[in-house]
Amino acid sequence: MSLSLNKHPTFTGRKGPVVIVIADGVGVAPAGPGNAVSEASTPMLDALTELPLYTELRAHGTAVGLPSDDDMGNSEVGHNAIGAGRIFAQGAKLVNHALDSGAIFNTPVWQRAIERGSANTLHFMGLHSDGNVHSHIQHLHQLMNKAAEQGIRNACLHLLLDGRDVAARSALTYIEQTESLIETINGRYSANFRIASGGGRMEITMDRYEADWEMVKRGYECHTHGIGQGFESATQAIKALYASSEKDDQYLPAFVIEQDGAPVGKMHDGDAVVFFNFRGDRAIEISLAYEREEFDKFNRNEKRHHPQVFYAGMLQYDGDELIPAHYLVNPPVIDRTMGEYLCSEGVRSFAISETQKYGHVTYFWNGNRSGYIDQSLETYVQIPSDNIEFNLAPEMKAHEITDHAIQMIESGAYQFGRLNLANGDMVGHTGDLQAAIKAMQVVDECVAKLVAAIKRCEGVLIFTADHGNADIMFTEKDGIRTVKTSHTLSPVPFAILDSGYDNEYRLVAPHDAGLTHIAATALNLLGFEAPQDYQPSLLNFD
């Protein structure tokens, strides 16, 4: 389908580019000692909030396509929403419907997994919490119950500990719930369901954007070959790992459950594996490791023969690259993104971030589409992230991203740009308040440089975020302080710094304005009318 935009009837845009700066994980919450955003010295960000063109946007729940307003937003759905300009039902909502309706169990993929698992072993693998960002424990439990009901008697669970989208040391709460269900299933069906392996999500398995294949290798060898520190139970493993260090769940090392000195859950030829995460970014690499015949990222046969298993994802995590080939629930179909419209109009643009968020300003921004829309018009730049715990270097790659962006702004070659500064989110997830404060000060320094460049080039800077995180670093109840490493339900800032502003328009945000309103707003600032079915622009030109 050929796409086109109408020129705006009264506003032709500015001489310089329109650039959207996404300060990842920077929400708007009440000031206080646990708010790294308000505790940091951020004169530039403070100045943006004082502009006449400032408001706050919803970045969680139904505003970004999640099931309820109790659901935290995340970077993936946030960038989907900004780039698409409309609300699409997202992973958790799609999976909920498929499970509640039973449709998921009528798919050929589920039936094949049951067939393989009945003859051999069915393995469930994924993030084990109710964070509802990558997965939900209730999805796992529904799959387990149905598998047992349909004849599975031998099942292994490979559980990735969260501590990031939920409380930092909450793994035992979820293990207790799953062990209780295992006991019920085994008693009712004379089955052998069991936890076989695990480890922290930032230590094994769940790498993204090829930042650390060694992390994926550790997870693959743990889940597949039973390589890891041995324990008699998952509860024992977590308690022992807690006692041996101060690490939170997300950073705990790989462990395996053993009986008589041998792992209880190695994978073998003919087994079936279901990865129950619904979010794509941290599911792609481990999916490749299991299902691709040609694979050169690490030696899968180094410890033991790589088994031929039937592998399926909860969703297809990359629709362009078809990863994985087999999946249980169809992902959202996001069409006619802002990027597609701009390419159709011949607008030259750039996207830039470091590895940790590169896919967000490209793949997710473009509606879960890999690669360029039109390489002749677009330039994508990825700055390699460091493979460290980000509180150790809270500046991350913000300065490098900023320098590259300024070069593009000042080149005069681009009319539109977008960049992501990952600091507020990635450092916020570590739970280190002082590091998060430092991260916010770095973001402020970089935004100040970007503002200066935009002014020099007579352009427009839009400052916003995709969700909250650094704005609430701990909670306090009855005098007890609890570190918070998850996202928040906070709104996010939205400010327009227009170097040529002369009251041609006003910022008029409806009470329920969310991230999906940004696309139409940016198109207006570029001199176009937005597509009729996009969420309305936040600008009034009357």
490 is known as an active-site residue: no
Which one, of 278, 311, 319, lies nearest residue 95 by Cα?
278
Whether the predicted pLDDT of 520 surpasses 60: yes
> What token pair was written down for 326?
């087999």
How far is the CA of 91 from the CAs of 109, 278, 317, 472, in angstroms? 18, 6, 10, 25
Query: What is residue 330's predicted lDDT score, i.e. its pLDDT?
Result: 84
Q: How many CB atoms lie within 10 A of CB 375?
A: 10
Domain annotation covers residue 259: yes
On whether both 29 and 97 belong to a single domain, the answer is: no
Name the nearest CA neighbour of 322 among 306, 311, 309: 311
Provide the CB-side half-sphere exposure for 129 (13 A, CA): 25
Nearest residue to 460 (alpha-carbon basis) of 48, 159, 29, 101? 48
Last residue of a domain, one of 295, 329, 363: 329
Same domain, residue pair 46 and 107? no
Residues 272 and 375 in one domain: no
Which pLDDT score, from 0 to 100, does residue 414 have? Answer: 98
Q: Which of 281, 297, 329 is the last residue of a domain?
A: 329
User: Is 7 within the bounds of a domain?
Assistant: no
CA 127 to chain centre: 13
CB 327, CB 274: distance < 8 Å: no
Q: What is the DSSP letter of 428?
A: G
Q: Give domain status of residue 261, yes or no.
A: yes
pLDDT score for 313 = 98
The torsion defined by the Cα of 109, 110, 115 and 119, in degrees rounded to 10, comes to 110
Check whether residue 28 and residue 133 sit in a common domain: no
**Both tokens assigned to 470:** 């650094």
Residues 324 and 365 in one domain: no
**3-state secondary structure (DSSP) of residue 59:** coil
| Residue 333: per-residue pLDDT | 84
The predicted pLDDT at position 331 comes to 75
Per the document, the length of the chain is: 542
Tell whether 72 and 215 lie within a shared domain. Answer: no
Q: pLDDT band for position 480 (50/70/90)?
A: confident
Segment 440-464 mean pLDDT? 98
| Over residues 118-137, mean pLDDT | 96
- Evaluate the omega torsion of the peptide bond into residue 30 and state whether it is cis, within 30 degrees of 0: no
pLDDT of 204 above 80: yes
Whether 148 maps to a domain, the answer reads yes
- Report whether 380 contacts 352 (CB < 8 A): yes
384-429 confidence digits (pLDDT tens): 999 999 999 999 999 999 999 999 999 999 999 999 999 999 999 9
Domain end marker among 292, 310, 329: 329
- Reply yes or no on whether the pLDDT at 319 is more than 70: no
Residues 499 and 373 in one domain: yes
The answer on pLDDT for 302 being more than 60 is yes
Confidence at residue 209, expressed as pLDDT on a 0 to 100 scale: 77
- Indicate which CATH number applies to the domain containing 218: 3.40.1450.10
Catalytic residue among 38, 41, 75, 490: 75
Q: Give the percent of the chain with pLDDT over 90.
A: 89
Task: Tell me which residue range forms the domain holding 289.
Answer: 92-329
Over residues 504-523, the mean pLDDT reads 96
pLDDT of residue 1: 62
Q: Does 6 reside within a domain? A: no
Model pLDDT, residue 7: 98
Looking at the fold, whether 65 and 99 belong to one and the same domain comes out as no
| Residue 291 CA, distance from chain mean position | 23
Q: Are 144 and 199 in contact (CB under 8 A)?
A: no
Mean pLDDT of the chain: 96
Same domain, 506 and 490: yes
Is position 139 within any domain? Answer: yes
What tens digit of pLDDT does each residue of 106-117 get?
999 999 999 999
Is the same domain home to 314 and 349?
Answer: no
Residue 320: pLDDT band by 50, 70, 90 thresholds? low
How many structural domains is the chain composed of? Answer: 2
pLDDT band at residue 161 under the 50/70/90 scheme: very high
Q: What is the pLDDT of residue 514?
A: 98
pLDDT of 70 over the 90 cut: no
Q: Are residues 178 and 289 in the same domain?
A: yes
The answer to whether position 9 is within a domain reads: no
pLDDT, mean of residues 237-263: 97
**Same-domain pairing of 362 and 481:** yes
What does the pLDDT read at residue 280? Answer: 84
CATH code for position 349: 3.40.720.10
